[in-house]
Structure 1
């Protein structure tokens, strides 16, 4: 790489500083997102007691960095209760932050700024890669596109793992490029270190293996015919060394200890129990890695959890709920969440490539090969809960767009006007919704106010809206309100001074609601986007707020909480609340009370699979098998009325209950 001039670095530094300011404004107005409390508590306990068994779904790196500001604080730690590891981390994380931080988020803001180092690192890598691959102008343009990319802005300072892994993916690819061009021990060590940091940021870091192997093939193909064997041998040896170095770095973040939890604490469930349902290659791989202790126990628990998560997540896409992922999710989601300006610039890059004005084939391969592998795996994964899972694609797209535009501009200056217009569209579109970048959608899909009609979860509503809801409540003093909040009870609006009564959702099955939901409510109804669209339910028919999708809303809060005024029939919500109450009472060995709640649910929704199942379960617990069989038969009939791909989630279990 040619030495970059000081004015170029100054411009790059100014853009990165601007990015930091924009991100600080965004996160200062957001409450905890769904996963942050979980990550923060897990990270603090790693520092506090070497406990890697809380939130093993993600490796330690981001959590450790984010919680560095807590090390000098004297904080209350909730007593561990040996619950299932996810429940333990989410609920203790909630209590930990409510007690030690509160709604002003003094500590949270500091932790988010610490986590922001990965966004800065990503921007630096984009600038370096662009300048090295395609020249200084391309490097600056790519950086500009990333700084104003809505998805990058939305995820930059959150205490989550997506930005960290995207940063280190880029770093590893860049380091490997430099190593492949001019092998040396220092460059090999840097590549191994970057690969280890990628593995330590998120489990998807293992995709580095096929990415680097694909890039090795590119390097061999680009080598002179007489040097290809030597190049292949050098790169294979380097790849083996990178793998070893990366695994050593990964072990270092777990303190070179196999056990997930310190002495005296056990995993719930254990790795063997959690992995028992795995079949085939997945079972063989996890079993042998655990037997030979080749990877830390906590990391293996995370790998196991990924397999289940990919199968179990219901999704919402283009107005419909699905019980599982669909292959077209990410192509559609990217078309919605990407600015039209960036899409247009990528099209220009395609024109530059086809017309052979963009001729850096090796460098383009370092963008296209990793991007294609990553997108291909994402499409097949089933984890369809937000574009944050493909955040890595956005810096690659920015680099590709910058390369294409600068190549075209060198041939004909008129392309500058076209490309400049698209860059302006990109920036203006991002700033037009600022600071609500989480819910961004481009203008072709109706803009940010309509994102919830097509996508859900972290693409719209990641539970980040509570400060804005509090402002709304303060502007309506003394008014009655009911709130379906997507993260309750793992996060509680009451902790922010929001007095609204909670409504049942897919996530409220673990705690009895403080107030029974009446059949009709009067006043204000607040629905978070995830609950309005029922993204956590496997069937449209189970959406208890379906009628509100067709009703005009009075207000939008942060483009992800919707306000309705008046008197509303909510008997479906009342029924779900009664179902969940019955299930909790059964777990507490109080079947008579459970039966009362289940009978109430059935009275409200007699043709519902959940209400009839709850009634049958309560009657079975009381020994009334004949009545239970009748309830299960009605539940089975209701299950058969669901969409075909949702029926397997209910029918086999009900048939087993009917014919034990």
Structure 2
């Protein structure tokens, strides 16, 4: 162990370890990117990004800022990829349909190129994690932090998809790192860098608005009454640097939208979210004030907030609620974090508490690392719209940083029990990758694994439309005449090349059916029919399939059922017995 530590302390050995880990993550992510079908939101992100490059417009789908869509679509500019001719639509899936129609043979290849761009961001984020962890705790701790990053099924799942979730996790890390530098050095250089990174985060995902209070809290935590900061900075200089930080951030945000619609007066908007509605209620004189933000950004933020404030069906542990669960994300972390990581978090928490009296800086640093975690999880837990771990993915790198110091305490002489516990936990983490390429559906062992994950959570936690290619391969191997299909995804199932029908609602009929896990657990959804039109499934419309055992499981998100007349009779008999208060027999 001592020899290994000495090698890691050497810069060449350190960067060799980091490079191997990140290369492993990239290759595993590339494998997943090639194997999985296009997921739910991903279906329109790439086409909208390409439309942005082609037209210079950002109003095709305002629900997400343009940076990562444009980044993902960048390699498509050097191909023959076409956007098609989509009409401006309130349904963003129409842009995916037009893209699919315009590129019928190469569409998957183009989506893989977009996914590779996210994998590049995952590598860059891992490098930044290594740099910060080494500055904070040393080289062994940095290697542990990057090991956690590369072995996390939740990070791998999102790194292999062309969505904003992995990117915003990286930008949360980058912004807080720059804020840490700015707070400790209090220089113009880091004020400007922090402002630029903050601006990039704002055009990645609207969640980044939380970085503003996080940066302010971080500055106070590190600066106020800190004996390690010897020089006093004049208050005017501090305010000037903060002003420069926010000015640069605003400029980057506006530049991301090519300054389109910037500085329009408040009266030109009609907001719908509770927060921005207050602007419409200001006196007429104040409503003439210009807003220093792009029009599409403001309208998108307003729409996002309005949607998040509406009632939305949320599922947790076989229960549905329209107002969400305050404990949703706590249970999500309990179910979807590998047990080795959970053990490391417990050990790290014990060590942080144990050492709080020895190093006052540790308490400051603990506050810096915990602030994003508590704020993001707390706010997400109060939301009515709770759809998956991806909403709190930015907390992951900060959890890894909290765990990282354990590497410095590994010593079989002085910390024998702690050393054994850390080594066992670390060695168990690679086993969580055995489900590749199905990292999206990962659930830990005590929650029942991905086979039973849908009993706890659905949607992007396990079923985001990623197994359509597996269904296609299954139907080619087991041809079925007009199967029933209810697919939780946006890519048209007609691409399977097999005619299908919508399954009957509320009651079974004999036949072969393929049912997505989210719909199996009762999620209301608008599914695609064979002709491309929509059919609205009500809550638990297909819940009767839970009575039957599937014939096949495709990945962990689609179940295949072959129902006979005898199966239907058993179900009807069980329903009748239940109505009479008797115990049904299967």
Give the TM-score of the pair, scaled to structure 1.
Answer: 0.76
Pick from 43, 50, 65 the counterpart of residue 71 of structure 2.
65
Structure 1 residue 570 displacement after superposition: 12
Distance 1:179 1:79, change over 3 A: same
Residue 366 of structure 2 corresponds to residue 364 of structure 1: yes
| Alignment match, 1:282 | 276
Pick from 387, 390, 401 the counterpart of residue 389 of structure 2.
387
Residue 165 of structure 2 corresponds to residue 142 of structure 1: no
Residue 26 of structure 2 corresponds to residue 26 of structure 1: no
8 Å contact from structure 1 (residues 220, 232) kept in 2: no
Q: In 1, distance between residues paired with 2:447 and 2:209?
A: 34
8 Å contact from structure 1 (residues 481, 524) kept in 2: yes
| Alignment match, 1:117 | 120
Distance 1:555 1:236, change over 3 A: farther
3-state secondary structure, aligned to 1:159: coil
Pick from 42, 46, 64 the counterpart of residue 48 of structure 2.
42
3-state secondary structure, aligned to 1:565: strand
Structure 1 residue 503 displacement after superposition: 4.1
Distance 1:206 1:187, change over 3 A: same
8 Å contact from structure 1 (residues 526, 562) kept in 2: yes
Matches within 5 A, 1:472-491: 472-487=474-489, 490-491=490-491
| Alignment match, 1:55 | 61
| Alignment match, 2:493 | 493
| Alignment match, 1:213 | 216
3-state secondary structure, aligned to 1:321: strand
Structure 1 residue 418 displacement after superposition: 1.2
Residues 164-207 of structure 1 show CA distances to partners (whole Å, capped at 9, x for unaligned) of 11111101111121222223332222211111111111011110
Structure 1 residue 148 displacement after superposition: 0.9
8 Å contact from structure 1 (residues 518, 570) kept in 2: no
8 Å contact from structure 2 (residues 524, 538) kept in 1: no
3-state secondary structure, aligned to 1:193: helix
| Alignment match, 1:563 | 560
Distance 1:566 1:285, change over 3 A: same
Structure 2: gaps spanning 5 or more residues: 1-7, 527-536, 569-586
3-state secondary structure, aligned to 1:79: coil
Distance 1:282 1:130, change over 3 A: same
Distance 1:93 1:104, change over 3 A: closer
Distance 1:244 1:104, change over 3 A: closer
Pick from 514, 524, 539 the counterpart of residue 512 of structure 2.
524
Distance 1:550 1:466, change over 3 A: same
Q: In 1, distance between residues paired with 2:126 and 2:172?
A: 13
Distance 1:253 1:114, change over 3 A: same
Q: In 1, distance between residues paired with 2:255 and 2:401?
A: 32
Q: In 2, distance between residues paired with 1:242 and 1:59?
A: 21
8 Å contact from structure 1 (residues 101, 107) kept in 2: no
8 Å contact from structure 1 (residues 336, 441) kept in 2: yes
Residues 518-570 of structure 1 show CA distances to partners (whole Å, capped at 9, x for unaligned) of 976433111101111123379x9831112222322222111111111123799
| Alignment match, 2:162 | 159
Structure 1 residue 116 displacement after superposition: 1.9
Q: State how many pairs are aligned.
A: 539
Q: In 2, distance between residues paired with 1:569 and 1:387?
A: 40
Q: In 2, distance between residues paired with 1:236 and 1:534?
A: 53
8 Å contact from structure 1 (residues 102, 496) kept in 2: no
Q: CA RMSD in A?
A: 3.0
Matches within 5 A, 1:439-458: 439-458=441-460
| Alignment match, 2:108 | 105
8 Å contact from structure 1 (residues 348, 405) kept in 2: no
Pick from 297, 302, 305 the counterpart of residue 303 of structure 2.
305
Give the TM-score of the pair, scaled to structure 2.
Answer: 0.85
3-state secondary structure, aligned to 2:170: helix
Residue 291 of structure 2 corresponds to residue 293 of structure 1: yes
Matches within 5 A, 1:617-636: none
Q: In 1, distance between residues paired with 2:41 and 2:371?
A: 31
Residue 544 of structure 2 corresponds to residue 547 of structure 1: yes
3-state secondary structure, aligned to 1:556: strand
Q: Which sits farther off after the overlay, 411-420 or 383-392?
A: 411-420
